[in-house]
Chains A and B, each alone.
Chain A
Amino acid sequence: MAAPPILPANARKAPSASVGRSGAVAWMALPALAMFLLFGIVPLAGVLLLSFTQWDGLGEINPAGLSNWRSVLSDPALPHTVWVTFEIMILSWAVQTPLSLLLGTFLAGRQRYRALLAVLYFIPLLLSSTAIAITYKALLDPNFGLGPGLHLDFLTQDWLGNGNLALGVVVFVVSWQFIPFHSLIYQGGVRQIPTTMYEAASIDGAGRIRQFFSITVPQLKYTIITSSTLMVVGSLTFFDLIFVLTAGGPGDATRVLALDMYKRGFQANLMGPASMIAVLLVLLGLALALLLRRLGGSTTASQQEGA
């Protein structure tokens, strides 16, 4: 985490050499910068401009001033969409974080069978979201799915046809897909914790559970923030999974902002309002990422030094 202090130190001692070196470093950053400008900033500016226009995706683009912003912000369906987005974000965070933390800690052990389990457990992450969605859709089908096939009544629910159940299924599938990834992050984090801490705690008489809450969790503070940022900001862009699984339905029960943007833009041919929602998503993502950074404190010291 701590930035290598070599460059500034050199700069003070030998200014002539530093010009050459930092110049070379700047050149090396150019390809990445160019890609970022081309695929990050330019489309973003394009979307911002489009949000002030009227365009059906086919004909001419006409300036529309603030009318898109006004019409979307006063759309009675928007609060519901934002609410569903946050609901899925918070629920999937609340399900994923404790489970990945526990699994990560478990997998950090060095036993052979744990390595095997870790590999098996990694499999959902290798599948594409669309494949996962199609599979779950088939398994949860109320007439031809797993429940009716095995004659299990508790599995024979209208999983994707009831608003609350559908939301629960989305959260479950998202968690099933991403818990392996976050477990991996936590596994790495736990392995960074010096074993001396645990040895000292054992000598002081702390049990497993006490060690977990007093050493593992506090030591993983920054890992938790990193993983939470990925979950929260990532959940703003859930699209493929929900699109294939429920298409935002039943009704609009699982219509998240990203899906709303797609439907307005590409199904209703309203590129202006869709771009406005895209801008909204960018702003939301930035705000959430900043907020989570603040929560982590402004210090850049490594967690071991902080402890």
Chain B
Amino acid sequence: MDPMTTSRRTFLRLTAGGVAAAGLAACGTSGPQSSGSGTGGAATGGATYWFLTGQPQQAIREAQVKRFNDANSGSQIKSTEFQNDAFKQKIKTAIGAGEGPTLIWGWGGGGLKSYVDANQVEDLTSWFGENAALKESIFPSAFGAATVNGKIYAMPVETTTPIVLYYNKRAFEKVGAQPPQSWGDIMDLVPKFNDQNIAPFSLGGQSRWTNMMWLEFLFDRIGGSEVFQNIFDGKANGWSDPSALQALDEMQKLIKANGFIKGFSSITADSNADQALLYTGKAAMMLHGAWTYGSMKADGKDFVTGGHLGYMNFPPVDGGKGDPTDTVGNPGQYLSISSKASQAEKDTAKKFLASNTLDDASIDAWVKSGNIPVVKSAKDKLASITDKNDAEWLKFIYDTSANAKSFAQSWDQALPPTQAETLLDNIAKLFQLSISPQQFADSMNAVIGK
């Protein structure tokens, strides 16, 4: 009975919406719930786990939970699934209301730091000390976004997903062009595709972080990885660095040249419409995360299996200072444990982390789905892939991640939520051409350090 009522209460609290609900929730946290066990099912030691929908990742997460529950009849994990963009708000609100899950899925970085500042997540440093073999097996670079003030608050799980430049080989054959080797090539390709009524680039602009991926690469290729590092470190006027202004200007040049699909600002990434534009040949190229490979393979008929999908790291900008091996994206996904959970729930969650998130079955499943899991042993698994397209793809992603001189975390995840929201807001306006690069830099400089 207990889990039922909890989930319904959570649901009501989340959907009641508005700040009024948050006001009530605030009363809740200072009231009886401060005593400890906020999450449901405390009596049995069962833990709760919220994660994202979207195949193939969803099925792998479901299988992990099922394997755990089959092996541990005494302490079960109850999972709830959410869509990507909806999850980001729900998890924050629920944690603030003391109704969050035991296992908190996230992207690390600024979001994790805000949980740490509010004492909402467990310090896992000593736990990793006890489980040194587990820690050793994970890519060291994945721990950066899990570490706050020198302590580890989350375990890197799942996959390393850099952002890559995808292209449709059939579209390039149709116009008789070669994939771009530089930013200049990209600008030259734009009119060629537009003449054939093919959009040069697909983009799900309403989601806003999709536009951000472009700026992440342009900033890096033009000014090097230190331009964003300065902003991240809170250096004053970091956004009006000359390289940053040049990158913003180049961005608007591409938009003005009709580089993106018509109506991009009303397309959302959650609906996968941006991927559909690429595999149906309505668009020639797309800058997107490595996580989209699996869904394009599943939905794109023979697009992936027939070898029509091409991909590369973002090309250099002529005269730019950035290292062309640099990449951006998500070095990993992260699981934290709620500090408000009961001891039994925490124990269940830790057991799940240790035995079911990066076990052999999970690693196999991730590699088979076209993803590189965050473990060093992933490389050995690659040889077992027989599908030629998958094998090439996995090697590309492994090399891109492993050889990157700098693997920067996505800006909206790296920055604290307040700055991230202002950033996404201004990026949407920049892509709408309603503000100039200078106005963008001024608005963003105003929130540095907030």
Binding site for B on A (CB under 8 A): 42-44, 46-47, 49-50, 55-61, 137, 140-144, 158-161, 163, 166, 239, 246-247, 249-253, 261-271, 274-275, 278
Chain B residues near A144: list those with CB within 8 A: 273, 276
CA distance A247 to B204 in the complex (A): 13
With contacts A251-B428, A274-B19 known, what are 9 further pairs, Cβ within 8 A? Answer: A49-B23, A58-B96, A58-B115, A143-B282, A250-B206, A252-B429, A265-B19, A266-B93, A269-B114
CA distance A61 to B93 in the complex (A): 15
Q: Which of B17, B18, B277 has the most CB of A within 10 A?
A: B18
A160-B263 in contact given A56-B114, A269-B92 (Cβ < 8 Å): yes
CA distance A270 to B22 in the complex (A): 12
* B: number of interface residues (CB 8 Å): 47
**B23 touching A50, Cβ below 8 Å:** yes
Chain B residues near A59: list those with CB within 8 A: 114, 117-119
**B89 touching A267, Cβ below 8 Å:** yes
**A252 touching B93, Cβ below 8 Å:** no
Chain A residues near B429: list those with CB within 8 A: 251-252
Chain B residues near A47: list those with CB within 8 A: 19-20, 23
Q: Which of B177-185, B264-272, B313-321 contacts A (4 or more CB under 8 A)?
A: B264-272
B432 at the interface (CB under 8 A from A): yes
Chain A residues near B261: list those with CB within 8 A: 142-143
Question: Of A56, A160, A250, A271, which one neighbours B19 at CB under 8 angstroms?
Answer: A271
**A161 touching B265, Cβ below 8 Å:** yes
Question: Of B117, B266, B421, which one neighbours A159 at CB under 8 angstroms?
Answer: B266
Encoded as 1 (CB less than 8 Å from any A CB) or 0, chain B from 427 to 445 comes to 0110010100000000000
CA distance A139 to B18 in the complex (A): 29
Encoded as 1 (CB less than 8 Å from any A CB) or 0, chain B from 387 to 422 comes to 000000000000000000000000000001110111
**A247 touching B19, Cβ below 8 Å:** no
CA distance A42 to B20 in the complex (A): 9
Chain A residues near B417: list those with CB within 8 A: 56, 267-269
**B206 touching A247, Cβ below 8 Å:** yes
List 15 contacting pairs A-B, 8 Å CB cutoff, sorted by A.
A43-B21, A46-B20, A46-B23, A61-B26, A142-B263, A160-B266, A163-B432, A246-B206, A249-B266, A250-B206, A250-B432, A262-B17, A268-B418, A269-B418, A278-B18
**A263 touching B262, Cβ below 8 Å:** no
Nearest B residue to A60, CB-CB: B118
**B26 touching A50, Cβ below 8 Å:** yes
**B421 touching A267, Cβ below 8 Å:** yes
- The 10 A-B pairs of least Cβ separation, nearest first, read A46-B23, A142-B263, A160-B266, A268-B421, A59-B118, A58-B118, A43-B20, A251-B432, A250-B265, A57-B96
Chain A residues near B114: list those with CB within 8 A: 56, 58-59, 269
Chain A residues near B276: list those with CB within 8 A: 144
Question: Of B89, B118, B265, B273, which one neighbours A143 at CB under 8 angstroms?
Answer: B273
**A251 touching B434, Cβ below 8 Å:** yes
CA distance A33 to B1 in the complex (A): 31
Nearest B residue to A282, CB-CB: B20
Closest Cβ–Cβ distance, residue A52 to chain B (whole Å): 13
CA distance A161 to B205 in the complex (A): 9
B298 at the interface (CB under 8 A from A): no
Encoded as 1 (CB less than 8 Å from any A CB) or 0, chain B from 7 to 21 comes to 000000000011111
CA distance A42 to B27 in the complex (A): 10
Per the 8 Å Cβ criterion, residues 335-387 of B in contact with A are: none
**A141 touching B273, Cβ below 8 Å:** yes
A263-B265 in contact given A43-B20, A251-B428, A252-B429 (Cβ < 8 Å): no
**A158 touching B263, Cβ below 8 Å:** yes
**A278 touching B19, Cβ below 8 Å:** yes
**B118 touching A268, Cβ below 8 Å:** no
CA distance A256 to B88 in the complex (A): 21
Nearest A residue to B27, CB-CB: A46
